[in-house]
Amino acid sequence: MRTLSSTYPDGLFLKQTYILKNNNLMRLAMQEAEASGFKAIVITVDSVVRPQHRTLPLKDSEFLMTLLSKEENQMVNYIFEEDEESYRAYKEGPLGLTKYMVRQGIRDTPMDIGVIRWVKSVVPNMKVIVKGILTGKAAREAVDNGADAVWVSNHGGRQLDSVPAALDVLSEVVDAVKGTQAEVYIDSGFRTGNDVFKALALGARAVFIGRPVLWGLSVN
């Protein structure tokens, strides 16, 4: 994070995080983001449900098997459990945080809305954005509990089948937070400028894209 912010000092950086079982790890990562000049914490709340590995199967690979290794992740879980010094010593070592988050870290229970206020208490100078919102009710609840912005997203259709398209619920979310200072962002399936203009016309403040960026980078 410090490398990014120092390399691109004029950039706008957001720190995305899942709701982890280990609050200490979340706290350390968020404080590192704050110290690195990041402007906001993005709490992703739609990962209680595991990705659609049945309909979108992952191919076996050495990388994936290492990523999902139970033994290695238990070691990471032990290291990061409560010990700040261990975290600082190992965060850039061979035991990656990705392994921790995939297998041991992400909570498998619905989000406690109080986590928004907890995040704001940990990094009071940062904005808090809640990502994975698909209803007006959820958007309003997040804002009423301290969220500075809500991010309409179905995780690019990867996480749970049969959820509505993000664009279809955008107007409902915008209406739900009307009269507040909260901004509304959106992602999931945007591929053209025409798509972006539609979202802006429906009230989104910003549109985020994911896979097209990777496709472009892969050309090089």
SS (H, E, C) 142-209: HHHCCCCEEEECCHHHCCCCCCCCHHHHHHHHHHHCCCCCCEEEECCCCCCHHHHHHHHHCCCCEECC
Same domain, 133 and 152: yes
Same domain, 125 and 114: yes
Q: Please report how many Cα atoms fall inside a 13 Å half-sphere around the Cα of residue 157, on the Cβ side.
A: 10
Same domain, 96 and 149: no
pLDDT digits (tens, 9 = 90+) for 179-211: 999 999 999 989 999 999 999 999 999 999 988
Question: Which contiguous run of DSSP H or E holds residue 82?
Answer: none
The domain containing residue 69 runs over which residues?
53-106
pLDDT of residue 48: 53
Same domain, 70 and 88: yes
Question: What is the total count of domains within the chain?
Answer: 2
Q: Which residues pair with 102 in a beta bridge?
A: none
pLDDT of residue 105: 54
pTM score: 0.76
pLDDT digits (tens, 9 = 90+) for 97-134: 555 555 445 555 566 788 999 999 999 999 999 999 99
Give Cβ neighbours of residue 66 (< 8 Å, ≥ 6 apart).
72, 99
The SS3 assignment for 55 reads: coil
Same domain, 41 and 76: no
Same domain, 82 and 38: no
Catalytically active residues, by annotation? 155
Same domain, 179 and 139: yes
Q: What is the DSSP code (8-state) at residue 20?
A: B
pLDDT digits (tens, 9 = 90+) for 40-86: 999 998 765 555 555 555 555 555 555 555 444 554 554 455 455 45
